[in-house]
């Protein structure tokens, strides 16, 4: 088990969102006074503050009452539901999607990501990954023994673009990259790729024959009236392309574990084969809930976006008063990626101090790329005043541990 030992030692979970009780706290600075309030877990959204789409539990119960047909669906998901979802996603993205051959329902978007990457990445294959980007991307490449190539997203450079280094990307493609994985909106920064960036990615991938996996989990929650560019709807697009989306974030349906992947038929077919041995299918009854997705009451999405935009603005106003903090305004989704000034403790320690002394849980930046030792991510999909108070406590702790 030696090579496996090495592999699994790289696959940490102790700093992953929601896993904070696993953090080692032995070495901690316990001298600081506590400064607590209502604990806020910024590692994920609060589905009590922002509840699931109305009517989803009823759809689930209907699914249970249907019985066997809903419990034992085809591995890809029940055809009736795939048809419902593919029609809605075709409208949303502007790309035609065949329910029969181009779409699979998965247990969460995490499930979709693993299946897509597992279907495309063989041992030693070069995989281009954006930094910063969703932590699991890198972990899955490690598990599949792919060779990772980092592409810089200089998200602080300008508000005009997401900031992907396209020269670096082309260079990587030239050097034999087989698969490119990225999230749009970007997790953890909340920036969206501009039409010309998506256009370039599409053209480069097409030119160099690179397969692309794009995680669009947050693509419905757009702020400030921005527009979103769907790679799958580009005129020239990669031959092998998988788009991932799901109702876990904006729609707060994470508890049902649902994701969807759609795109190239040959990859969907592989993903189905892999799903057959990884989890069989997304929970049958849960699948029924997808009928409520993209089918929310009038004004529901707008209200949700408005409420999040207000939280974003007020947290940003507080954060921007602090000397040395660097943060870009979230363009979509509910993350802020916050670079803080130099402290007398390491980020690893600060994250623990924040949790134990201030009741604030955040995700360290190194989960999103090894160089982000001065950053952390928050998910501000929280009850408004709790979030504001927690950010005030966070700022207080930054000041307490500020260097010099």
Binding mask 99-138 for its own copies (x = CB under 8 A): --------xx-xx--x----xxxxx------------x--
Q: Does 74 bind its own copies (CB under 8 A)?
A: yes
Interface residue with its own copies, options 30, 277, 299, 403 (CB under 8 A): 277
Cβ neighbors of 314 (< 8 A, separation 6 or more) are 384, 388
130 neighbors 182 (Cβ within 8 angstroms)? yes
Instruction: Name the segment binding its own copies (CB under 8 A); options: 1-9, 29-37, 218-226, 311-319.
Output: 1-9
Phi then psi for 23, rounded to 5 degrees? Answer: -65, 140
CA angle 102, 298, 383 (to 5 degrees): 95
Select 281 or 377, whichever has its Cβ closest to its own copies.
Answer: 281
Instruction: Name the segment binding its own copies (CB under 8 A); options: 32-40, 43-51, 152-160, 194-202.
Output: 43-51
* Residue pointed to by tokens 């876990």: 248
Q: How far apart are CA 288 and CA 295, in angstroms?
A: 13
* Cα–Cα nearest to 231, from 267, 268, 205, 251: 205
Instruction: Name the segment binding its own copies (CB under 8 A); options: 186-194, 195-203, 279-287, 326-334.
Output: 279-287
Q: How far is the CB of 314 from its own copies (least distance, A)?
A: 22
Q: Is the dihedral of CA 104, 215, 293, 251 positive or negative?
A: positive
Select 49 or 322, whichever has its Cβ closest to its own copies.
Answer: 49
Q: How far apart are CA 368 and CA 377, in angstroms?
A: 9
Interface residue with its own copies, options 36, 39, 54, 67 (CB under 8 A): 67
Q: How far apart are CA 219 and CA 209, in angstroms?
A: 26
Instruction: Name the segment binding its own copies (CB under 8 A); options: 70-78, 162-170, 295-303, 328-336.
Output: 70-78
Select 223 or 285, whichever has its Cβ closest to its own copies.
Answer: 285
β-pairing, 363-364 with 259-263? unpaired
Show contacts with its own copies in window 197-256 (CB under 8 A). 252, 254-256
Cβ neighbors of 285 (< 8 A, separation 6 or more) are 60, 63, 64, 70, 71
Select 76 or 230, whichever has its Cβ closest to its own copies.
Answer: 76
Q: Does 47 bind its own copies (CB under 8 A)?
A: yes
Sequence length of the chain is 404
Q: Does 167 bind its own copies (CB under 8 A)?
A: no
For residue 147, the surrounding DSSP H or E stretch is: strand 147-152
Q: Does 24 bind its own copies (CB under 8 A)?
A: no
Q: How far is the CB of 94 from its own copies (least distance, A)?
A: 28
Q: Does 270 bind its own copies (CB under 8 A)?
A: yes
Q: How far apart are CA 270 and CA 60, in angstroms?
A: 28
Q: Around 175, how many Cα atoms within 13 Å sit in the side-chain half-sphere?
A: 13
Q: How far is the CB of 209 from its own copies (least distance, A)?
A: 10
> How far is CA 183 from its chain centroid?
7
Q: Does 4 bind its own copies (CB under 8 A)?
A: yes
Where do contacts with its own copies occur on this chain (CB under 8 A)?
1, 3-4, 7-8, 11-13, 16, 18-19, 21, 44, 46-48, 51-52, 57, 60-61, 63-64, 67-68, 70-75, 107-108, 110-111, 114, 119-123, 136, 139-140, 143, 178, 252, 254-257, 270, 272-274, 276-286
């Amino acid at each position: 088990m030696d090579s496996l030992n090495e592999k699994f030692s790289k696959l940490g979970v102790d700093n992953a969102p929601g896993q904070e009780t696993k953090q080692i706290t032995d070495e901690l600075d316990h001298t600081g006074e506590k400064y607590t309030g209502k604990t806020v877990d910024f590692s994920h959204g609060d589905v009590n503050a922002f509840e699931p789409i109305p009517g989803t539990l009823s759809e689930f119960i209907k699914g249970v009452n249907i019985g066997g047909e809903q419990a034992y669906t085809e591995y890809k998901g029940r055809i009736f539901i795939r048809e419902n979802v593919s029609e809605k996603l075709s409208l949303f993205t502007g790309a035609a999607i065949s329910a029969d051959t181009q779409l699979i329902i998965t247990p969460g978007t995490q499930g979709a990501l693993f299946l897509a990457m597992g279907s495309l990445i063989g041992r030693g294959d070069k995989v281009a990954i954006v930094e910063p980007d969703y932590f699991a991307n890198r972990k899955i490449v490690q598990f599949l023994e792919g060779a990772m190539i980092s592409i810089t997203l200089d998200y602080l450079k300008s508000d005009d673009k997401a900031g992907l280094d396209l020269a670096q990307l082309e260079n990587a493609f030239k050097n034999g990259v087989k698969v490119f994985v990225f999230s749009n909106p970007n997790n953890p920064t909340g920036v969206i790729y501009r039409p010309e960036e998506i256009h370039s990615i599409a053209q480069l991938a097409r030119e160099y024959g690179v397969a692309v996996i794009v995680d669009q989990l947050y693509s419905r929650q757009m702020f400030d009236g921005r527009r979103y560019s769907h790679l799958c709807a580009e005129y020239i697009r990669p031959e092998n392309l998988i788009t991932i989306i799901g109702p876990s974030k904006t729609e707060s349906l994470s508890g049902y574990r649902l994701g969807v992947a759609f795109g190239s038929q040959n990859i969907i077919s592989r993903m189905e084969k892999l799903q057959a041995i990884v989890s069989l299918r997304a929970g049958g009854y849960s699948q029924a809930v997808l009928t409520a997705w993209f089918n929310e009451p009038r004004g529901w999405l707008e209200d949700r976006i408005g409420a999040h935009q207000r939280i974003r603005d007020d947290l940003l106003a507080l954060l921007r008063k602090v000397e040395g903090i660097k943060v870009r305004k979230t363009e979509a989704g509910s993350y802020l990626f916050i670079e803080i000034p130099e402290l007398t403790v390491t980020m690893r320690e600060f994250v623990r101090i924040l949790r134990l002394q201030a009741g604030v849980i955040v995700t360290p930046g190194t989960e999103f790329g090894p160089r982000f030792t001065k950053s952390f991510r928050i998910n501000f999909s929280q009850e408004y005043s709790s979030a504001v108070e927690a950010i005030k406590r966070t700022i207080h702790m930054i000041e307490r541990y500020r260097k010099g």
